[in-house]
Amino acid sequence: MSPFALIAGTLLLAGVLCADSRNQEFSDFTTPLPVKPGDTLVIGVVGGWERWDNPVRCVRRTAIVVKRQNLPGVQVETVENHKLELAEELARKAFDFNRDGVVSKEEAAKARVVVFGQSMGGRAALELCRTLEGMGIQVRLLIVVDAFGKDSYVVPANVREAANWFQRDHLVLKGAPELTAADPHRTRILENTQISFKGRKDAQAYELSFVQRQLMDEHARMEYVPELWGKIERMLIEAARARD
């Protein structure tokens, strides 16, 4: 590869994969508040320092796919992993049906939440589920992809089902290999599945150039595996539509 191609590829990749966050604000959410009793709130937590609304990155891209299904009674939002207080405020206001400033036990019982996240957003998704547990809110499904960051990776008992996909090929950014349930009687772990890129010459990437694919590391490749994200999309939609 020529030096020019390498530089050009680096610049192109920067526009897709590098830190690009600005200061996300609560007003960026579009969900009508409070939601209607029985509505489902799907929250995606983005990784690194990426913007909450970057449509190329995996969490936002997937959220857009789910939102475009126009499922009745389903609201979809994304949040930056270092802005979890916004997601917590969103949950409080979404399920505070009588607008008295608190989520009562009765209101929490009517709350429906689905959470997913990638990289640092995967770890933050777990943290969000723990906060929701403190509010008495159940999480129908938690999905974690190549979660990175110090954590026990124990899924709280308010989560009904959880799934985890990860890679261990990267020298430093190795995804968390296992989710465990705090209460196996209440939480079902659906997946702890490793994906390896060893021997694969391409990233199986969505709409990325050859140069970008060559520059990707294994952690970045996890964002662009069509069969994985297709499955995640289906799981999110199924969980959002479920009424059990």
Residue 164 sits in which domain range?
A: 3-18+39-241
Task: Answer yes or no: is 23 within a domain.
Answer: no
Q: Under a CB-based contact definition with an 8 Å cutoff, are residues 53 and 101 in contact? A: no
User: CB under 8 Å, gap of 24 or more: what pairs does 200-206 form?
Assistant: 206/61
pTM (2 d.p.) = 0.86
H helix or E strand, kind and range, residue 44? strand 40-46
pLDDT score at 200? 61
Q: At a CB cut-off of 8 Å and minimum separation 6, what does 199 contact?
A: none
Task: Answer yes or no: is 29 within a domain.
Answer: no
User: Tens digit of pLDDT for each residue in 124-136?
Assistant: 999 999 999 999 9
User: Tens digit of pLDDT for each residue in 181-236?
Assistant: 999 999 999 999 999 887 665 445 444 555 555 556 888 888 988 999 999 999 99
Could you give the count of Cα atoms lying within 13 Å of 21 in the half-sphere of its Cβ?
16
Task: Answer yes or no: is 33 within a domain.
Answer: no
Task: Answer yes or no: is 137 within a domain.
Answer: yes
Task: Answer yes or no: is 65 within a domain.
Answer: yes
Sheet containing strand 74-80, edge to edge, reads 74-80, 40-46, 112-118, 139-145, 159-166, 188-194
How wide is the angle at C-alpha 28 spanned by C-alphas 132 and 243, nearest 5°? 45
Task: Answer yes or no: is 34 within a domain.
Answer: no
We report the CATH number of the domain holding residue 206 as: 3.40.50
**What is the percent of the chain where pLDDT is above 70?**
84
The total number of structural domains in the chain stands at 1
| Statement: residue 3 has pLDDT above 80 | no
